Amino acid sequence: MQCSIDTYDFAGKKAIVRVDFNVPLNEKFEITDDTRIRAAMPTLKKVLAEGGALIIMSHLGRPKGVTEKFSLKHIIGRVSELLGVEVKFADDCQTAQEACAALKPGEALLLENLRFYAEEEGKPRGLAEDCTDEEKKAAKAAVKESQKGFVKTLAGYADCYINDAFGTAHRAHGSTALIAKYFPNDKMFGYLMEGEIKAIDNVLKNAQHPFTAVIGGSKVSSKLAVLESMLERVDNLIIGGGMGYTFVKAQGGQIGNSLHEDDLMPNALEILKKAQEKGVNIYVSQDTLCADAFSEEANTQICPTDAIPEGWEGVDAGPQSLATWKEVLMNSKTILWNGPVGVFEIAKFAKGTLEIAQDLADATAAGAYTLVGGGDSVAAVTQMGYAKKVSYVSTGGGAMLEALEGKELPGIAAVRE
């Protein structure tokens, strides 16, 4: 049974909380962006304020074993500062029994990087390159077996479990999913997770219509499942960015040197056919900003997207497309945006992405629900200063992408089960 963080009685209890403190560090091990730490604070502070004690667990980077560079000790100072208590540290997440038992209400302990153990991910490490399939299978079975003890040890530290790590919710790891079964009546989501789940539900389950999805980014191959999932849900599908040229070429257009995937052209045609059958309006750009180089110094011109000259490539949506898309967006009650509609990293090619951000801000002000989730669109709205002007900006790239594909995320399912 799933509990609610708002009504759970934390007084005198120890809560083990999975957070995503996978923050970037510089070569001096200083945090260069503490957004993820700050994002978990409402949940952590709630437990302490209610008289509970905290056992905080996270991964950092992709270590292949104990690695100084990926030690969570580097972030204790910042976590303590933000939490307002001196956070203790257990330098091995598997031998913290005594330290956890000694925790008093209002105290907090951070466990060392969970991924120092292969058991967290449940994948074997250090296999010889030439090992046989049989050996691989045996190694996998062995780590799965020892994973049970790893998870049980973590679970033994606490009275209740909170998952507030949306960034890893798509992984069926020890601390993100498997641990939940040890807390059948004492498991819940933290506030960050709750916010993300509500945002997902707002577009996948409770969308107000017209519902428009703007799907951009570089490649059709990485967004195919999202496009297919959206076809089942939206009224309008705007396809922008590099992936749009595969759709144009598949229909016989001349796209010059623009990014495209020949092998995905049949999929693009299938999407167009399905959209027609379902009555979904598809908007691929009519005109394109073309460049003769991938740089700030490039020469540019506006061309019809199906008549881009050789030697030129599409790098951003053109003015006609942006005007059409604006009208569609301003008439929408729900908007999902995933992926930039141009090479926004180069200022000269960022106008389209900036205009979409502005359209979403305007639509939000006019009462639409707007979610920016997954991929580089999150970086784009944040960089461009629009994060507070849309309804919700997701913190989880891969997790949000999988949720939008319609997949059930293991980290969410484990708490709900």
Query: What distance in Å separates the CA atoms of residue 247 and residue 196, rounded to the nearest whole number?
Result: 31
Tell me if 340 contacts ligand AMP by CB under 6 A: yes
Residue whose token pair is 């998952």: 163
Nearest CA among 32, 79, 85, 42 for reference residue 57: 79
Binding residue (CB under 6 A) for ligand AMP from 290, 315, 322, 329: 315
- Nearest 5°: CA angle at 403, between 246 and 410? 135
HSE (CB half, 13 Å, CA atoms) of 398?
A: 8
Within 8 A by CB and 6+ apart from 281, the residues are 235, 236, 237, 275, 328
Query: What distance in Å separates the CA atoms of residue 18 and residue 58, rounded to the nearest whole number?
Result: 6
Residue 167 a catalytic site member: no
Query: What distance in Å separates the CA atoms of residue 367 and residue 364, rounded to the nearest whole number?
Result: 5
Residue 36 a catalytic site member: yes
In the three-class reduction of DSSP (H, G, I as helix; E, B as strand; rest coil), residue 309 is classed as coil
Q: Name the phi and psi angles at 337, rounded to 5.
A: -125, 125
Tell me if 306 contacts ligand AMP by CB under 6 A: no
CA 358 from chain center: how many Å?
A: 22
Piece in contact with ligand AMP (CB under 6 A), picked from 13-21, 98-106, 334-342, 383-391 = 334-342
Q: Name the phi and psi angles at 242, rounded to 5.
A: -55, -35
Q: Choose the catalytic residue: 13, 78, 140, 219.
A: 219
Where are the alpha helices (H) located in 366-409, listed in sequence order? 376-383, 397-404
Tell me if 342 contacts ligand AMP by CB under 6 A: yes
Piece in contact with ligand AMP (CB under 6 A), picked from 108-116, 153-161, 202-210, 339-347 = 339-347
Query: What distance in Å separates the CA atoms of residue 213 and residue 271, rounded to the nearest whole number?
Result: 14
Binding residue (CB under 6 A) for ligand AMP from 52, 190, 195, 314: 314
Piece in contact with ligand AMP (CB under 6 A), picked from 192-200, 218-226, 264-272, 279-287 = 218-226
The most distant pair of C-alpha atoms in the chain lies apart, rounded to whole Å, by 71
Tell me if 373 contacts ligand AMP by CB under 6 A: no
Q: 19, 44 in Cβ contact below 8 A? A: yes
Closest CB to ligand AMP among residues 67, 320:
320
Tell me if 241 contacts ligand AMP by CB under 6 A: yes
Residue 351 a catalytic site member: no
Tell me if 63 contacts ligand AMP by CB under 6 A: no
Tell me if 284 contacts ligand AMP by CB under 6 A: no
Q: Choose the catalytic residue: 389, 398, 406, 407.
A: 398
Binding residue (CB under 6 A) for ligand AMP from 67, 222, 300, 382: 222
Residue 375 a catalytic site member: yes
Binding residue (CB under 6 A) for ligand AMP from 343, 354, 393, 399: 343
Tell me if 411 contacts ligand AMP by CB under 6 A: no
Q: 377, 350 in Cβ contact below 8 A? A: no
Q: Choose the catalytic residue: 14, 18, 36, 171.
A: 36
Binding residue (CB under 6 A) for ligand AMP from 242, 318, 373, 410: 242
Tell me if 376 contacts ligand AMP by CB under 6 A: yes
Quote the least distance from Cβ 241 to ligand AMP, whole Å.
3
Q: Which residues bind ligand AMP (CB under 6 A)?
A: 217-219, 222, 241-242, 259, 314-315, 339-340, 342-343, 345, 375-376
Active site residues: 36, 219, 375, 398
